[in-house]
Structure 1
């Protein structure tokens, strides 16, 4: 990359929206991760389109970060350009449909629904991701999931073309969608909700918030739920029954509050997270014959010392 990428990125955006050699630990919920060569914070769809086209033309690696909630970035960081859409966070209402840009949090979107007396998004009141991330993985909690209320999503194809995909075209299944399979970028989502009683909506959100706060280790940095639910089982219970609560590698620990979570208790690294994940997977597999599959997404490069 001998040409001046920062200067060219600054022409597409503006210099204050481009950061060079930026620590990704500032952008992840685990507070871990190496540096991005270049991190960009666009505010318009046109800027995103131009960024995608530019990186394609110059053959520069391009990564979408979201808000870093259900994510581990390896300690070697990410090469090329890292896109963070958290500046694109508008939420608007058309009839009973909420249109939210991908950088808006799904929590804020559920609160917006409450403010407009709309029911259907209560389940999302404690999911700490963006709308884009929620569509990407068909996020869900407490019996609800995105596919129940999503009408469509505006996406950007790898060659920079805007496209609207309907719910059924998104192939929304348990923690999966067509988005990663076709390397699409979610720019906004439209949710169709129903009129409801504001007191009932608030009561449901209060109940779910209480359940989340009482059961999840929110006092520490974490990547959220680490593993997918095995068919007919619960990952947290398998980990707990394996005697792994409190197990610590480096600065990362299997939460003593909820075994499905791993928390950064003492300046842990992404490598600590990955080593603990592998240890838990192997232990559970030995004891119960179940190989836990990660729900958390892992991206980025290994440190040079780890590849030798």
Structure 2
């Protein structure tokens, strides 16, 4: 496919949209790895997202959506087709006990908006370094809370650009899972329903969560967060640690010595380093404990 021609055609449809050709995706992931995207686009509103989705759908061009890039590994050969980054799709509105946020909004910023408006329920999200859309996709959670507890509805597009309103009951929310991992939708807006609360108490919970996160997680290095889902009645980090893998390194990727559930980029790691290390961890834990570790991180 002639992506130079595709690039120019998109410019005709959306003349003011931010676009780059052959964009290196390592600049847009927390672990600082990943090859180039053929076409990289940053829309600023839902209408632009619709236009790009319809364009890609009618021409059978692959379309990939990313947000903050906090829980993804993009392979070193990059992503074919169009990549849309939603970071500029970031409006947050509060009405009574509801927060309506664009999917590219930071979930941390949404938790802060809740605090400012004396709304309780998102305290657990104050340290999750991802977008609202990514948090819904993964049903993200921490410190006893998760997105499903406060989610009311989602506005999403089909890959052909049609708008759908999905209620919480439609979303098949489970542990780090949702319908969006099975069905092809583009999340563009999320409505949260929270409880009125005491601002001082909300702030104290957020402060405690922040202290816990900073004390336990290897925030001094680039990482993609928790790499593996929690096995039933187990903790992935504990299994990895007890397998003697803390500090184990492939290339520039290392199992964190601070928290074994994290793989950190300590020395210019490649995505291949990460993927080889992930497979080694899975094989080692399987051999020692007969437990299959399933990845939480999304590999693109």
Q: Classify the secondary structure of the residue corresponding to 1:233.
A: coil
Residue aligning to 1:259: 260
Q: CA deviation at 1:51?
A: 0.5
Q: SS where residue 11 of structure 1 aligns?
A: helix
> TM-score under structure 1 normalisation?
0.96
Aligned to 1:38: 39
Residues of 2 paired with 1:173 and 1:158: CA distance?
A: 23
- Residue of structure 1 in register with 2:249 after alignment: 248
SS in 2 for 1:293: coil
> Which ranges of structure 1 fall in alignment gaps of 5 or more residues?
300-308
**Are the equivalent residues in 2 in contact too, given 1:33–1:77 (CA < 8 A)?**
yes
1:125 is aligned to 126
Shift of 1:15: 5.6
Q: Give per-residue Cα distances to partners, 1:224-275, cap 9 Å, x unaligned.
A: 0000000000000000000100000000000000000000000000000000
Cα deviation, residue 16, structure 1: 5.6
CA contact (8 A) 2:17 2:41 kept: no
* Mapped partners of 2:193, 2:159: distance in 1: 27
Give 1:183-202 correspondences, 5 Å limit: 183-202=184-203
Q: Distance in 1 between matches of 2:67 and 2:42?
A: 11
Query: Do the aligned partners of 2:111 and 2:126 also contact (CA within 8 Å) in 1?
Result: yes
Query: What's the C-alpha RMSD, in Å, of the aligned pairs?
Result: 0.9
Instruction: Judge conservation of contact 2:17–2:43 (CA < 8 Å) in 1.
Output: no
The aligned residue for residue 115 of structure 2 is 114
Equivalent residues in 2 for 1:1-308, closer than 5 Å: 1-2=1-2, 4-14=5-15, 17-299=18-300
Aligned length: 299
Q: Which runs of 4+ in 1 moved over 4 A?
A: none
Report the Cα distance in structure 2 between the residues aligned to 1:159 and 1:14, rounded to whole angstroms. Answer: 21
Task: Name the TM-score, length of structure 2 as normaliser.
Answer: 0.98
Q: Distance in 2 between matches of 1:11 and 1:47?
A: 12
CA deviations 1:283-306 (Å, max 9, x no partner) are 11111111100000001xxxxxxx
User: Any idea what SS the aligned residue of 2:82 has?
Assistant: strand
